[in-house]
A and B are shown apart, each in its own frame.
Chain A
Amino acid sequence: EDKVVQSPLSLVVHEGDTVTLNCSYEVTNFRSLLWYKQEKKAPTFLFMLTSSGIEKKSGRLSSILDKKELFSILNITATQTGDSAIYLCAVKGAQKLVFGQGTRLTINP
């Protein structure tokens, strides 16, 4: 059975801290791994990763994939209160996009 597991499930930090969110997976016919940010409504796309070891960056956010060990991390540096959200990891298999449970990140001022 396809499975995506995120950790931690919840994280509370202070503004300015750096956080690392984890995602491990077991998905048949892996195509890509995606990270989403979800605030009030629909998930919004952050990154798509297909190759091991190649870091993707967007401002203070970065992510990397390890296809040998079957995991990915999402880093956020110099966190801001606007980073508070649920971060979802999803893995695209042959015909399905399988989501993890999400990490609820809270940034306190």
Chain B
Amino acid sequence: NAGVTQTPKFQVLKTGQSMTLQCAQDMNHEYMSWYRQDPGMGLRLIHYSVGAGITDQGEVPNGYNVSRSTTEDFPLRLLSAAPSQTSVYFCASTLDTSADYGYTFGSGTRLTVV
């Protein structure tokens, strides 16, 4: 199994550009989420989805859009990149949100906005 696959691994954007970070999982996980990690701040939840067609905002959603048209894919869109969005982004998934299941993380995307 590939697990959770994130692409690209690195990206440099100019301020105002748009782009999509890709996340795909092959474990038939219903729940998927996006986090950003900045130095000294742990991981902060951007958006999450509890199943295909259902998304909701996390702690820091501004400047990001998501959609969940299939169970496997959960792309994160930056509409107009800003330097404040320079961060490392992680996608994570779990089978469901009961107590018994842990989360699987992708390897991360390091994004720099100049």
Contact = CB atoms under 8 A, between A and B. Distances in A.
B35 A99 contact: yes
Interface of B: 31, 33, 35, 40-45, 48, 50, 56, 58, 90, 92, 94, 97-100, 102-103, 105-108
17 contacts: A32-B100, A41-B108, A43-B43, A43-B105, A45-B103, A50-B99, A88-B43, A92-B97, A92-B99, A96-B33, A96-B58, A97-B92, A97-B94, A99-B42, A99-B43, A101-B42, A102-B42
A97 B33 contact: yes
Nearest to A50: B99
Contacts of A100: 42
Contacts of A96: 33, 45, 48, 58
A99 B90 contact: no
Contacts of B107: 41-42
Contact of B99 (A32, A42, A43, A45): A32
* Residue in B48, B56, B99 with the greatest tally of chain A CB atoms within 10 Å: B99
B103 A101 contact: no
Contact of A95 (B35, B40, B92, B97): B97
Given A96-B58, A97-B92, A42 B108 contact: yes
* Residue in A6, A34, A41, A100 with the greatest tally of chain B CB atoms within 10 Å: A41
Q: Which 5 A-B pairs have the closest CB atoms?
A: A42-B105, A31-B99, A99-B43, A99-B42, A101-B42
Contact of A42 (B48, B90, B97): B90
A98 interface: yes
Interface of A: 4, 6, 9, 31-32, 34, 41-43, 45, 48, 50, 88, 90, 92, 94-102
Nearest to B40: A101
B45 A97 contact: yes
A70 B62 CA distance: 30
Nearest to A42: B105
Given A31-B97, A34-B103, A42-B108, A95 B42 contact: no
Contacts of B106: 42
